[in-house]
Amino acid sequence: MDQDDFEQFYTASYQRLLWELFAVTGGDLPEAEDALQEAYVRASLHWQRIRSYQAPDAWVRRVALNLASSAARNTRRRAAALLRLAASPAPGPELSTESVDLAAGLRALPMGQRQVIVLHYLVGLPVEEIARQLRLPSGTVKSRLARGRKTLARRLGVAIAQEVQING
């Protein structure tokens, strides 16, 4: 019954609230949709209480407006930081052909494998430290390293021994 209630509420209020958020965000439909969807998720978690409100859509609206405001503030902060950084650009690393190839190979790996490969080979952390930082079992780190090495070797066309050093 509660799930049906929430679905009816969602269906009845979504388009109207989306239009309102669309206007508030200055016509940024993805931003409006993100804020509104997050507000509905939060409403669904507290639906037992919110459904008894005189206007549950007002609660969703308020949460969505707060989320949209926070997102706008974060965007402004990021933009200001990027402008500060652009004013005094740090010299970038010189990229060799091998570095570009390695970056392309790393992008092809799943995030978990990429993280352990970079932390182990480029940062120089031992398996136990990687496991601690990523909150993973050591065996998971070892298996990701093995799969990542194999995939990188195939992508880079390199014969790889069990413990190859990848130089960046």
Residue-wise pLDDT for 118-166, tens only, equals 889 888 889 999 999 888 999 999 999 999 999 888 888 764 443 444 4
The DSSP secondary-structure symbol of 120 reads I
pTM of the predicted model as reported, rounded to 2 decimal places? 0.51
How much of the chain, in percent, has pLDDT values that exceed 90?
45
CB atoms within 10 A of CB 85: 10
AA identity, residue 139: G
Neighbours of 14 (CB within 10 A): 16
pLDDT digits (tens, 9 = 90+) for 37-67: 999 999 999 999 999 999 999 999 999 999 9
Instruction: Give the gyration radius of the chain's Cα atoms.
Output: 24
Helix ranges restricted to H, the chain: 2-24, 29-45, 47-50, 56-87, 97-107, 111-117, 127-134, 138-156
Of all residues in the chain, what percent carry a pLDDT higher than 70? 87
90: confidence class by pLDDT, cuts 50, 70, 90: low
CA nearest neighbour of 121 among 155, 61, 165: 165
Name the residue ranges covered by the structural domains of the chain: 2-87, 97-156
CATH number for region 2-87: 1.10.1740
Residue 158 confidence (pLDDT): 64
- Give 97-156's CATH code, choosing from 3.40.630.30, 3.40.640.10, 3.30.160.270, 1.10.10.10: 1.10.10.10
Q: Which pair of structure tokens corresponds to residue 46?
A: 């507290």
